[in-house]
Amino acid sequence: LVARRLPSRNRFYADLSQCLFDFVIQLLPTQEEMQVKEDVRKLLERLIRTIEPDSRLLSFGSTANGFSLRNSDMDLCCLIDSDERLSATDLVIMLGDLLERETKFHVKPLPHARIPIVKLTLDPSPGLPQGIACDIGFENRLALENTRLLMCYAMIDPTRVRTMVLFLKVWSKRRKINSPYKGTLSSYGYVLLVIYFLVHVKNPPVLPNLQQMPPLRPITKEDTHVAGYNTWFFDDVELLRTRWHSENNESVAELLIDFFRYYARDFSYNTGVASIRAGLLKKLTKGWQNDLSAGRYHDSRERNRLCIEDPFELDFNVGRCVTKDGLYTIRGEFMRASRILANRPERAVIALADLCA
Ligand code: GTP
Ligand code: MG
Q: What is the CATH number of the domain that holds 40?
A: 3.30.460.10
Are residues 172 and 78 part of one domain? no
> Ligand 1: which residue has its CA nearest to atom 20?
143
- Is the CB–ligand 1 distance for residue 60 below 6 Å? yes
- Is the CB–ligand 1 distance for residue 313 below 6 Å? yes
Per the domain annotation, does 26 fall within a domain?
no
Per the domain annotation, does 11 fall within a domain?
no
Are residues 104 and 250 part of one domain? no
- Is the CB–ligand 1 distance for residue 145 below 6 Å? no
Are residues 68 and 164 part of one domain? no
**Domain finish residue from 95, 120, 143:** 143
Per the domain annotation, does 217 fall within a domain?
no
Per the domain annotation, does 329 fall within a domain?
yes
As for how many domains the chain has, the answer is 2
> Ligand 1: which residue has its CA nearest to atom 18?
61
**CA angle (301, 302, 306) in 5-degree steps:** 95
pLDDT value of residue 223: 80
Q: What is the CATH number of the domain that holds 311?
A: 1.10.1410.10
Are residues 172 and 124 part of one domain? no
Which one, of 288, 347, 357, 356, lies nearest residue 19 by Cα? 347
Cβ burial, residue 44 (10 Å; 0-12/13-18/19+) = buried
Are residues 274 and 188 part of one domain? yes
Query: Rounded to the nearest whole angstrom, what is the distance from the C-alpha of residue 242 to the centroid of ligand 1?
Result: 30
Are residues 344 and 276 part of one domain? yes
Q: What is the pLDDT along the chain (357 residues), one digit of tens a residue?
A: 555 666 688 899 999 999 999 999 999 999 988 999 999 999 999 999 999 999 999 999 999 998 999 989 999 999 998 888 888 899 999 999 999 999 999 999 999 988 899 999 999 987 778 899 999 999 899 999 999 999 999 999 999 999 999 999 999 999 999 999 999 999 999 999 999 999 999 999 999 999 999 888 888 888 889 989 999 999 999 999 888 899 999 999 999 999 999 999 999 999 999 999 999 999 999 999 865 554 444 555 578 999 999 999 999 999 999 999 999 999 999 999 999 998 877 788 888 988 998
Closest ligand (CA of 64): 1
pLDDT value of residue 350: 86
Closest ligand (CA of 170): 1
Per the domain annotation, does 13 fall within a domain?
no
pLDDT value of residue 68: 94
Per the domain annotation, does 325 fall within a domain?
yes
Closest ligand (CA of 151): 1
Are residues 181 and 106 part of one domain? no
pLDDT value of residue 291: 53
> Ligand 1: which residue has its CA nearest to atom 14?
61
Residue 310 alpha carbon, nearest atom of ligand 1: 30
Per the domain annotation, does 102 fall within a domain?
yes
Are residues 123 and 269 part of one domain? no
Distance, CA of 292 to CA of 32 (rounded, Å): 52
Per the domain annotation, does 253 fall within a domain?
yes
Query: Rounded to the nearest whole angstrom, what is the distance from the C-alpha of residue 104 to the centroid of ligand 1?
Result: 26
**Domain finish residue from 143, 176, 196:** 143
**Domain finish residue from 87, 116, 143:** 143
Are residues 128 and 174 part of one domain? no
Are residues 256 and 111 part of one domain? no
Q: What residues make up the domain containing 266?
A: 158-207+246-355
Are residues 347 and 295 part of one domain? yes
pLDDT value of residue 294: 46
Phi-psi region of 64 (alpha: psi -120 to 50; beta: other; left: phi over 0): alpha
- Is the CB–ligand 1 distance for residue 183 below 6 Å? no
> Ligand 1: which residue has its CA nearest to atom 7?
62
The secondary structure element, H or E, covering residue 212 is none
